[in-house]
């Protein structure tokens, strides 16, 4: 990656806030990602193909890494934490290595499904070190030690204000597609809800654009993490960052900007549910697109329920290429 940085003048975030071109960003994504109707399974349902966001690995996490990995230089050590089958960990390991970094990932145990097992194997292959600890405490303690030794820290899920800038950009990208007539303005945009960065960035983007779109998070993590209050807090922190860098007063977030659906969870992170499995089977039969059990299938299940009443967009955050055996 010889031309590692660009000013970002072409991205929607900088078109809206030119002063943000001064924030370092490394070009990783192929944007805009396509939108398409899913009329084969529901006449009011659309899909945003963020699985196609980048090569060799797509998905929503690459959006935040454009900002979070921008300071990395060849030979730098990079450390992050996540569950054993974390797609965030896989994205950091993949792109950190492509940028010439040495990636260390502290992981903790989770409920394993076939998707999680494949992702876990990919993380072990891509990272320089990826130990699995008995608990989140052990993984964070190990990660903190690496950070104290000078490694570049990437927070779990990439859900910090700088990382969330990538998801604000994604939301403004969708707004441009709506305004260009590529799809009708949806009432709901559904994403799997983990650490909350994607939902926070999209909700903030829609507020900035004046779109009355509700971001619906299908919770896939324990309730202490997957909370509406946390998403709103992240969105407001990112708004403050943009305000400081631009001098602009951003619109206030509406009370109904974010909704969380808790019954998609399944009891533990990575646990499959019958409803989500059925939704994934419908998608694959109709389109050939595969939805993973940990994230996408649960979001799709919620999106199908909402599309029975209102125009809904399902944000595909997981790259199904990860599901292919080596």
pLDDT in tens, 269-316: 999 999 999 999 999 999 999 999 999 999 999 999 999 999 999 999
The pLDDT of residue 49: 98
Residue matched to tokens 């983007």: 205
Rounded CA separation 242/248 (Å): 8
Start-to-end CA distance of the chain, whole Å, equals 24
Average pLDDT, the chain: 94
Which residue ranges form the domains of the chain, and what is each CATH number? Answer: 12-62+159-323 (3.40.50.1100), 70-153 (3.40.50.1100)
Contacts of 179 (CB under 8 A, 6+ apart): none
User: Range with the lowest mean pLDDT among 24-28, 101-105, 317-321?
Assistant: 317-321
pLDDT for 230 beyond 60: yes
The pLDDT of residue 10: 83
Q: How confident is the model at residue 321 (pLDDT cuts 50, 70, 90)?
A: confident
Paired tokens of 222? 């324990």
Q: How confident is the model at residue 8 (pLDDT cuts 50, 70, 90)?
A: very low
With 0.85 as the threshold, say if the pTM is over it: yes
Contacts of 261 (CB under 8 A, 6+ apart): 216, 217, 218, 219, 302
Helix 87-98 with 61-68: angle, nearest 10 deg: 40
Smallest Cα–Cα separation from 217: which of 234, 194, 186, 239? 194
Smallest Cα–Cα separation from 28: which of 52, 63, 59? 63
Instruction: Give the residue ranges of DSSP H helices in 180-295.
Output: 197-209, 228-246, 274-287
Instruction: Give the residue ranges of DSSP H helices in 87-152.
Output: 87-98, 114-126, 136-148
Cα three-residue angle 157-161-164, rounded to 5 degrees: 60
Rounded CA separation 233/239 (Å): 10
Each residue of 83-129: pLDDT tens digit?
A: 999 999 999 999 999 999 999 999 999 999 998 999 999 999 999 99
Contacts of 35 (CB under 8 A, 6+ apart): 46, 47, 48, 49, 174, 177, 182, 183, 313
């Amino acid at each position: 990656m010889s031309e590692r940085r660009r000013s970002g003048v072409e991205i929607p975030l900088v078109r809206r806030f030119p002063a943000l071109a001064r924030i370092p960003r490394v070009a990783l994504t192929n944007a805009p990602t396509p939108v398409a109707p899913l009329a084969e399974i529901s006449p009011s349902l659309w899909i945003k193909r963020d699985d196609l966001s980048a090569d060799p690995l797509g998905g929503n996490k690459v959006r935040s890494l454009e900002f979070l990995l921008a300071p990395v230089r060849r030979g730098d050590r990079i450390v992050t934490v996540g569950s054993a089958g974390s797609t965030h960990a896989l994205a950091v390991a993949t792109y950190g290595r492509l940028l010439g970094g040495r990636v260390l990932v502290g992981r903790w145990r989770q409920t394993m499904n076939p998707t999680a097992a494949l992702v876990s194997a990919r993380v072990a292959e891509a990272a320089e070190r990826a130990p699995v600890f008995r608990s989140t405490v052990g993984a964070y303690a190990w990660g903190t030690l690496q950070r104290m030794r000078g490694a570049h820290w990437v927070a779990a899920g990439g859900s910090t204000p700088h990382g969330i800038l990538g998801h604000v950009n994604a939301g403004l990208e969708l707004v441009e597609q709506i305004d260009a007539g590529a799809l009708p303005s949806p009432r709901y945009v559904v994403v799997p809800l983990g650490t909350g960065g994607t939902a926070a960035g999209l909700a903030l983007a829609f507020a900035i654009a004046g779109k009355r779109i509700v971001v619906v998070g299908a919770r896939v993590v324990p309730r202490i993490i997957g909370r509406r209050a946390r998403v709103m807090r992240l969105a407001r922190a990112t708004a403050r960052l943009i305000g400081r860098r631009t001098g602009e007063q951003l619109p206030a977030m509406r009370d109904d900007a974010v909704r969380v659906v808790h019954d998609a969870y399944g009891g533990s992170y990575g646990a499959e549910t019958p409803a989500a499995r059925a939704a994934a089977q419908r998608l694959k039969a109709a389109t050939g697109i595969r939805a993973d059990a940990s994230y996408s299938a649960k979001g799709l299940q919620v999106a199908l329920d909402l599309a029975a009443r209102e125009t809904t967009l399902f944000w595909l955050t997981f790259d199904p290429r990860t599901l292919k055996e080596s």
